[in-house]
């Protein structure tokens, strides 16, 4: 049986993920069911991997003086439900029952504001470099778990719901490596 947001394991917090709660979320309107998974890519600073900056961004602790790019993004408040690091580590920032702030201005199949009915998964990566095998393994495990819990209609890229505004997960993301994407 599919779970609704907030039911089941730890009120939407998945076992097996490292939990780093973000303040950047709110409630889903009208207990909106989760129907979509949005895959993103992020690196901070751009093109660099492995540091604590993504976690700091999602928890509003990014030092704007640590890198020139950080001054440009100092006032944004964003999050995702999950981050898959280059080594496959899974970090959860927002409960699946909450609305993470990941999609921005977005539209899927005529429905606006995809944050209302989606889960956001960030992959540590960028448009110019391939993703790691460990990331695809972790992502496929996560997707299988989420499909067991929720009635997911599709797995899409950020570029699919915000065309012309976003490019991620980018041309180096291999959609064929996902199991049953329902794209």
Domain ranges in the chain are 9-177
Residue range 108-119, pLDDT digits in tens:
999 999 999 999
Distance in angstroms (rounded) separating the CA atoms of residues 138 and 141: 5
State the CB neighbour count (10 A cutoff) for residue 120: 25
pTM of the model: 0.93
CATH assignment of 9-177, among 1.20.120.1230, 3.30.10.20, 3.90.230.10, 3.40.80.10? 3.40.80.10
Q: Would you call 132 a catalytic residue per the annotation?
A: no
Higher pLDDT, 182 or 165: 165
Residue the block writes with tokens 């409630």: 27
Which one of the listed residues 122, 124, 128, 132 is annotated catalytic? 122
Residue 73 near residue 112 (C-beta atoms within 8 A): no
| Strand ranges for 34-117 from DSSP E | 36-42, 82-84, 90-92, 98-100, 107-108, 111-112
Q: Which two tokens stand for residue 136?
A: 């695809």
The whole-number average pLDDT for the span 8-21 is 87
Residue 4 has pLDDT above 50, yes or no: no
Distance in angstroms (rounded) separating the CA atoms of residues 4 and 97: 8
Mean confidence (pLDDT) of the chain:
93
């Amino acid at each position: 049986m599919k779970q609704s947001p907030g039911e089941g394991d730890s009120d939407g917090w998945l076992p097996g993920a490292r939990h780093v709660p973000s303040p950047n979320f709110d409630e889903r309107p009208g207990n909106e069911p989760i129907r979509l998974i949005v895959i993103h890519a992020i690196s901070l600073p751009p093109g660099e991997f492995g540091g604590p900056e993504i976690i700091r961004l999602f928890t509003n602790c990014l030092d704007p003086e640590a890198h020139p790019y950080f001054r440009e993004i100092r006032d944004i408040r964003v999050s995702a439900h999950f981050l898959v690091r280059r080594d496959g580590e899974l970090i959860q920032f927002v409960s699946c029952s909450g609305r993470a702030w990941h999609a921005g201005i977005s539209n899927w199949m005529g429905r606006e504001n995809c944050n209302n009915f989606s889960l956001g998964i960030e992959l540590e990566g960028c448009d110019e470099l391939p993703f790691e095998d460990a990331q695809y393994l972790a992502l496929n495990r996560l997707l299988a778990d989420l499909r067991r819990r929720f009635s997911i209609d599709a797995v899409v890229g950020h570029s699919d719901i915000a065309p012309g505004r976003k490019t991620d997960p980018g041309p180096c993301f291999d959609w064929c490596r996902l199991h049953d994407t329902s794209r």
